[in-house]
Amino acid sequence: MSRDGHSISRRQISENALKVLYRLNKSGYKAYLVGGGVRDILLGLQPKDFDVVTNATPEDIKKLFRNCRLVGRRFRLAHIVFGRDVIEVATFRGHHGETDDKISKSNAEGRLLRDNVYGEIDEDAERRDFTINALYYDISDYSIRSYGGGISDLNSRTIKLIGDPETRYREDPVRMLRAVRFATKLDMQIDATTAEPINALAPLLSDIPAARMYEEVLKLFFAGKAQANYQMMQDFGLFAPLFPQVSALISESPKGHTAKMLDAVMRNTDLRVSQEKPVTPAFFYAAILWYPLKQRADDIAIESGLTHYDAHVAAMGDVMEQQCRTISIPRRFSTPAKDIWQLQLRLERSQGSRAFKLLENPKFRAAYDLLLLRGEAEAGNTAKIAAWWQSFVEADEAERGDIAKSVNKSSNSRNRNAPQRKRRRKPAAKPKPTAE
C-alpha cells in the first residue's frame, strides 16, 4: 500500500523509533516499523510500543548503536535505550530447516525453545502470529506491506492466525492468550478456525515458564479489560492452567464465594484502571487466592490440630508456593499479599477501640478493600463486619469515637448478660494432726 493509500504519518511515530529506523536505513539496511505500532495507528489508537524489524543481525545493530543491549535466548533481540524509552529491534525471522540446536530447537510438543533463524521479510511475515500484526511500515518510501490479508482483517475486525492454528499454538501456547487479549482490547472477533483448537490445547499453558506467565497476566488483567478477558478465558478453558487452585473451587461451586470474588475483583480492577487509580498485583493475588487460602487453612487445622490463626499462617506459604508454579509472583508482591491475608483475621476481631491502631497499619487500606469484596461475596456475618468497618473508615474523628464506644458498650453488655459460671470453692484444708 503506497503512501497515498494509508493514514499513517511520521508525526504519529515516536521520535526515538524514527531515529532507529533512519539510522538503519542510512546504513544500508532495510528497516520497518512493525506489528502493534502500525496496527494501532491505523485503528486510530495511540500505540504503547514501537517495534522495529530489519535485515541487520543483532551484532550489526549493536555496532550501529552505542546505547544498544542484546537480550533474550529464545529470541535474540536488540534493545535501543533512550532513557526510559526502549525501542525493540528484531532481525527478520526465517523458516526452520536443518539447523544447529544452538540456533533453533523445539520440544516434543512442538513448542519453540530457541529460535534464532534469520531470513527475509516474506518469511518474517509468515512467522508472525496474527494477520493484523503482519503489517510493515517501510521508512524508505513510507509504504505499508500487508501479509495474509492483514489490512482486510483489520477492516473486518477479525483476529486470524497465520498458518495452521494447532501448529502455531503448539509452537507458542501463549498465542492463545494473545488471541483473547487482542479480541477484547481491539473489540474484534476471533476467527472460527483460529478459535477451534484452543479448548483442546489450553493445557499446554502449564508448560510455559512461570516468569513469562507473570508478564502475560499483567497484560490480561491490568489494562482495563480484566472482566472481559476473564470471561473469555473461562470460555476457552485458559483460566484453569494459570490459576488451578482458584479454578478447582469454581468448578466445585460455579456460583459460590470464589466465583463471586473473581467477578468482583475483575470488575473492581477495571473500574480503578478507568479512574486512573493504581492497581497492584499484591492486592490482585491476595483477593483471588483468598478462598484457596481459607480452604487450605481449614484442612491444616483439621489435619494438625493447629489453632485457626496458626493454620492460616501455615496455609499462606502453601497457597503462594503452589500459585508460583504456574505464575512467578515476585517477592515484592507476594509478601504484601500475605500481609493483606493476615490482616483479615485482625479486621474480623478488631472492631471497637482497637480499630484505631489498625488504621495506622500501612497495609490497612488494601486489607479493608479485600474485606469489602469478601462482604459482597459472602454476605452474612462477613458483610456485617465489612459494613461496620466502612462506617468507621468513612466517619470523621469524632464519629469514629462514638462508633468504637458503641461496639465496646455492646460487647460489655453481652458479657454482663452472659450466664455467670459459679466459682468452685477450694476445699478446706484438713487440719494437721497435733502431736500428743
- Hey, which residues are catalytic here? 49, 51, 129
Whole-number Å distance between alpha carbons of 60 and 421: 87
DSSP code for 222 = S
Nearest residue to 258 (alpha-carbon basis) of 98, 385, 383, 376:
376
Strands 68-71 and 158-159: unpaired
Length of the chain: 436
CB 231 within 8 A of CB 181: no
Whole-number Å distance between alpha carbons of 58 and 76: 7
Strands 158-159 and 104-106: unpaired
Quickly count: other Cβ atoms within 10 Å of residue 100's Cβ.
9
Quickly count: other Cβ atoms within 10 Å of residue 70's Cβ.
12
Question: CB neighbours of 317 closer than 8 A, spacing ≥ 6?
Answer: none
Cell of 148: 495474509
Question: CB neighbours of 270 closer than 8 A, spacing ≥ 6?
Answer: 224, 225, 226, 227
Residue with cell 494437721: 432
Long-range contacts of 363-366 (CB under 8 A, 24+ apart): 363/336, 363/339, 366/280, 366/282, 366/283, 366/286, 366/336, 366/340
